[in-house]
Amino acid sequence: MSEAALIGIDLAKRVFQLHGAHDDGSVVFRKKLSRPQLMAFVSQQPKCVIAMEACATAHSWGRAFEKLGHEVRLIPPIYVKPFVKRQKNDAADAEAIVEAAARPTMRFVALKSEAQQARAMLFRTRQMFVGQRTQLINALRGHLAEHGLVAARGSAHLKRLADAIEDDDTALLQDIRELGRMYLEQIEGLNARVADLDQKMRGAAKEDGLARRAQTMPGVGPVTALALETFAPDLATFRRGRDFAAWLGLVPKQHSTGGKARLGKISKMGQRDIRTLLVSGAMAVLQAVERFDTPNSGWLKRLLTRKPRMVAAIALANKMARGLWAMMTKQEDYRNPAAMMA
């Protein structure tokens, strides 16, 4: 069998489809391997390029293949789909991965380290617990509303319901009180878990040099700084700050044709976690501008008079993303907080 210069692997749980090709794209082999057979087969191959779709298990396989001396390329699945010919099956997917990886203009996903994936799990776990807490609070509000106890949304108003459950003067059946206490116990347990994860995230942000540098920018706290280090690739891979802002989905979606530019809402095509945190940080900066007479805040104040607050927050988040790119690539702290609002 001749040697393959590029191998495309369609990842799965148990059965993996492989497609090997020469530099000119001609087929070398098509194979279907089980999970135990995959590493044994790849270890016997000469050094080549191994391409996969960037999915949940791709980073672990990629690190294993790199240890064997291979070059790993991870491709976003949306960029592979146009290369699938006619019918959709594992063999066609593996061939499409090879076709996409061979394109000179293809964009690849950076391989994540185990430490990055561990921090990503920290973020996702916290998000899950916060979502469960919100679900429990809303369920409790809904049940008690049927018995005449109405409270506003949000955890800040939970105490009113807790006091009503413990108040003997409240016209509630004993069964309702016991079930309400069960809800409150679960919510309190989730509060403790979320607080513990918040503390871990703040500690990780203090230990990381890039995260400490990012926090020198107004509107960037430890959670945003750690998310930047966890979910974003090396910012030096972006040619300019606008490319990083576009990767985050903070630039307008284009519908341009015939030389006429048509710009719409932001694309939201990038990394959702960092984008959401930057917009939240920008909202905090806007509140400070509205409440206090900060120096050099003319740009934001003029924008707030012409545009809704969310539009101004997105514009500021775009500016923050560009500033973060400059800080990380030049390895400098944020030097002039007032310039953010100039």
| Structural domain spans, the chain | 6-101, 114-207, 209-341
Selecting from 3.30.420.40, 3.40.309.10, 3.10.50.40, 3.30.450.20, what CATH number does the domain 6-101 have? 3.30.420.40
Say if residue 256's pLDDT is above 90.
no
pLDDT value of residue 297: 66
Mean pLDDT of the chain: 89
- Supply the pTM of this predicted model: 0.81
* pLDDT tens string 311-326: 899 999 999 999 999 9
**Which among 44-53, 157-166, 252-261 has the top mean pLDDT?**
44-53
pLDDT band at 211 (very low <50, low <70, confident <90, very high): confident
Q: What is the dihedral of CA 172, 175, 178, 183, to 10 degrees?
A: -90
Q: Angle at CA 137, nearest 5°, toward 136 and 138?
A: 90
Q: Mean pLDDT lowest for which of 92-106, 144-158, 172-186, 273-287? A: 144-158
